[in-house]
């Protein structure tokens, strides 16, 4: 195989964050990996880059605004309050609100987005972001040590340029977050090879194949404890071959979670470093642009070994490096065997014991054979930056200074556009709605609360692989917390339809003890009425009152949101 252009993304700050002293996830493993890659003198053979950190706006391409805003504000001290007593966003022992969590997520997501862009621009054949691979994160909650799903963000970036993307997950845990994100589309095929059973996240059985247009485009290979290199290869190669033949991907994302290695603290498989790296070598042999990201892996020294060797595989120099470790800053960590290797254990391979592996492979290949050939994608222009960004109407970053008249006018134009869009939707929805009635509004609120209670209230811990109950919302918070964090607006109809804004401009008035909608994006006082900033009911939307629970200002501190970065002027 010829050498290919490799882009390597690394941010030296990523190893400075900590989930906690006793927590299994150690971001320092990325720093140790980088030191080992550097010690093997691989850096001069790659384009070493430091990605621009992902903004909150880019994160909201997949995650909800409320969740991203929460991550940008949460600290260990205010987490209990911002999660409404632990009932939202699934922050807890598995996913602690550590100091700098948002910055950590921005590094991970920024690396994967930049890697995807570099591949799509044709400046690299392989892009590596070992800080990425956080595949459990959901649209509106954290899961399995993952807060922001950088993989989904990277794939969404690729889909701007290519018709089809293949995602392969060799982590010990099912890649549920990525599968869930693309479960109903035929433009992304997800293939996860993982341990299944009473094991986190409890999903990914063979029959989970997608839904709607995405039926057949989710491939799950459930495994049992103790699978060896040979057994793993016997299922990986034919399945990937068939997927590439049928799906014909334009790009591949390979998640290299190292918890499938032998001896991992949370895994149960028995792969060696070479068996794990064979997946990288095999995907590389397809000569399709692909992105390598990290993932799980909780025996830190083995994670560093595997990712270093897989970096060498990307460079096609794996046969040229010395397996005796060179001196590096973390050399003592790799004792007592100071070698670039992860050896198998004597764990029994239960996949061969009952013949389940052959059944899984045959069933997966049969499903792929029934799949129609590569889906066509309508020809269209490659989307560039959004028109709003091009015209200066893009989102405003928190705390960004607004001292230019053109920027203020752009913000005002966007605000008027949002109001008109919401007004049109509210008017169309209200045509068939009955007159507002207190009793019907109470019934609507009861139905919403009932649906919320009926939603899934159990989650599985990645550490214990045991289900636990997510705390239900205390009764005193139920009216305040619904789909909209600002509560029920004053113009909500009988069915609870509410005015919505893409970004909140609510302000808590501790004296009057209610919420006001203040001026948007630094628009000077008086401009709004002069330019027709009116709500759906004809009143000035900047001063829309919102009924909330009568409590102290400290209870509603989270309402004081200023996404546009403006400072109020009294």
Q: Has residue 501 got a pLDDT over 60?
A: no
Catalytic choice (63, 136, 174, 412): 136
DSSP state of 463: T
> Does the pLDDT at position 436 exceed 80?
no
Q: Residue 166 and residue 62: Cα distance in Å, rounded?
A: 18
| pLDDT at residue 410, rounded to an integer | 64
* Average pLDDT over the chain, rounded to an integer: 79
Q: What are 542-562's pLDDT values in tens digits?
A: 333 333 344 343 333 333 334
Q: What span, in angstroms and rounded, lies between the C-alpha atoms of 285 and 287? A: 5
Please report the pLDDT score of residue 309 as a whole number.
Answer: 98
Give the pLDDT mean for 123-150. 96
What is the 3-class SS of 326-341, one letter each residue?
CCCCCHHHHCCCCECC
Predicted confidence band of residue 355 (pLDDT cuts 50, 70, 90): confident
Cα 170 to chain centroid distance, Å, stands at: 17
pLDDT number for residue 87:
77
Per-residue pLDDT reduced to its tens digit, 386-433:
555 554 444 444 444 444 555 666 666 666 666 665 555 554 544 444
Can you give the C-alpha Rg of the chain in angstroms? 25
* pLDDT at 362 (0 to 100): 96
Neighbours of 127 (CB within 10 A): 32
525 token code pair: 């006082």
Q: 20 and 3 in contact (C-beta within 8 Å)?
A: no
Check pLDDT > 80 for residue 299: yes
- As a residue count, the chain comes to 570
pLDDT average, residue stretch 158-165:
96
pLDDT digits over 166-216, tens only? Answer: 999 999 999 999 999 999 999 999 999 999 988 999 999 999 999 999 999
pLDDT at 566 over 70: no
pLDDT at 32 over 60: yes
CATH class of 6-370: alpha beta
Give percent above pLDDT 90 in the chain.
Answer: 60
Concerning whether 136 is annotated as a catalytic residue, the answer is yes
Query: In 183-328, where do the E strands start and end?
Result: 188-195, 218-223, 251-255, 290-293
Q: pLDDT class for 307, splitting at 50, 70, 90?
A: very high
Start-end ranges of CATH 3.40.800.20 in the chain?
A: 6-370
Contacts of 389 (CB under 8 A, 6+ apart): none
CA distance 240 to 190: 11
357-362 contacts, C-beta under 8 A, 24 or more apart: 357/223, 357/227, 357/231, 357/234, 357/235, 360/206, 360/221, 360/222, 360/223, 360/235, 361/221, 361/234, 361/235, 361/238, 361/239
Q: How confident is the model at residue 446 (pLDDT cuts 50, 70, 90)?
A: low
Residue whose C-alpha is closest to residue 471's, from 486, 495, 494, 452: 452
Structure tokens at 61: 């391409």
3-state secondary structure of 387: helix
pLDDT at 509 over 90: no
What is the pLDDT, as a whole number, of residue 373?
Answer: 80
- Rounded-to-integer distance, Cα 70 and Cα 50, Å: 26
Q: At what angle do helices 300-315 and 273-284 cross, to 10 degrees?
A: 30
Residue 12 CB partners (closer than 8 Å, separation 6+) = 31, 34, 50
Q: What pairing do the DSSP bridges indicate for beta strands 218-223 and 188-195?
A: parallel
What is the DSSP annotation of 107-147? HHHHHHHHHHHHHHTTS-SEEEETT---TT--SSS-BTTBS
Predicted local confidence at residue 271, as pLDDT: 98
pLDDT band at 528 (very low <50, low <70, confident <90, very high): very low
- Alpha carbons 97 and 91: distance in angstroms, whole number: 7
**Prediction pTM value:** 0.74
């Amino acid at each position: 195989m010829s050498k290919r252009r490799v882009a390597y993304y690394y941010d030296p700050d990523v190893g400075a964050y900590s989930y906690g002293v006793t927590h299994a996830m150690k971001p320092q493993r990325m720093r140790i990996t980088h030191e080992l890659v550097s010690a093997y003198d691989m850096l001069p053979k790659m384009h070493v880059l430091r990605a621009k950190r992902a903004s909150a706006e880019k994160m909201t391409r997949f995650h909800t605004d409320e969740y991203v805003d929460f991550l940008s504000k949460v600290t260990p001290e205010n987490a209990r309050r911002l999660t409404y007593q632990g009932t939202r966003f699934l922050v807890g022992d598995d996913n602690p609100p550590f100091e700098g969590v948002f910055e950590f997520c921005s590094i991970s997501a920024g690396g994967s987005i930049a890697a995807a862009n570099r591949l799509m621009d044709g400046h690299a054949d392989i892009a590596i972001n070992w800080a990425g691979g956080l595949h459990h994160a959901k649209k509106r909650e954290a899961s399995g040590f993952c807060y922001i799903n950088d993989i989904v963000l990277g794939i969404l970036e690729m889909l701007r340029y290519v018709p089809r993307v293949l995602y392969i997950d060799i982590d010990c845990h099912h890649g549920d977050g990525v599968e869930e994100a693309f479960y109903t589309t035929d433009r992304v095929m997800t293939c996860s090879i993982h341990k299944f059973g009473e094991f986190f996240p409890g999903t990914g059985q063979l029959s989970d194949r997608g839904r709607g247009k995405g039926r057949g485009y989710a491939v799950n290979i459930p495994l049992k404890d103790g699978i060896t290199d040979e057994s793993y290869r016997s299922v990986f190669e034919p399945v990937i071959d068939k997927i590439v033949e049928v799906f014909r991907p334009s790009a591949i994302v390979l998640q290299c979670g190292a918890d499938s290695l032998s001896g991992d603290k949370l895994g149960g498989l028995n792969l060696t470093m070479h068996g794990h790296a064979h997946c990288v070598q095999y995907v590389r042999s397809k000569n399709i642009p692909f992105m390598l990201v990290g993932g799980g892996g909780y025996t830190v020294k083995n994670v560093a070994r595997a990712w270093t060797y897989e970096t060498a595989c990307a460079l096609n120099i794996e046969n040229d490096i010395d397996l005796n470790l060179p001196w590096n800053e973390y050399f003592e960590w790799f004792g007592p065997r100071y070698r670039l290797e992860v050896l198998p254990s004597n764990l029994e391979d239960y996949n061969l014991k009952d013949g389940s592996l052959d059944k899984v492979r045959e069933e997966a290949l049969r499903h792929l054979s029934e799949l129609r050939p590569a889906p066509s994608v309508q020809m269209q222009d490659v989307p560039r930056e959004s028109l709003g960004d091009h015209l200066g109407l893009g989102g405003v970053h928190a705390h960004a200074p607004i001292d230019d008249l053109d920027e203020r006018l752009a913000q005002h134009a966007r605000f008027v556009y949002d109001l008109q869009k919401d007004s049109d939707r509210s008017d169309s929805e209200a045509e068939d709605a009955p007159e507002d009635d207190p009793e019907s509004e109470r019934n609507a609120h009861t139905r919403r609360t009932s649906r919320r209670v009926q939603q899934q209230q159990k989650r599985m811990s990645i550490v214990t692989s045991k289900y636990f109950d997510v705390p239900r919302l205390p009764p005193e918070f139920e009216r305040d917390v619904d789909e909209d964090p600002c509560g029920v607006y004053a113009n909500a109809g009988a069915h609870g339809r509410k005015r919505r804004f893409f970004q909140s401009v609510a302000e808590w008035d501790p004296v009057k003890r209610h919420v006001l909608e203040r001026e948007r994006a630094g628009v000077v006082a008086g401009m709004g009425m002069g330019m027709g900033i009116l709500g759906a009911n004809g009143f000035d939307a900047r001063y829309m009152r919102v009924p909330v629970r009568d409590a102290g200002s400290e209870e509603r501190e989270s309402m004081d949101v200023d996404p546009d970065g403006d400072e109020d002027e009294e």
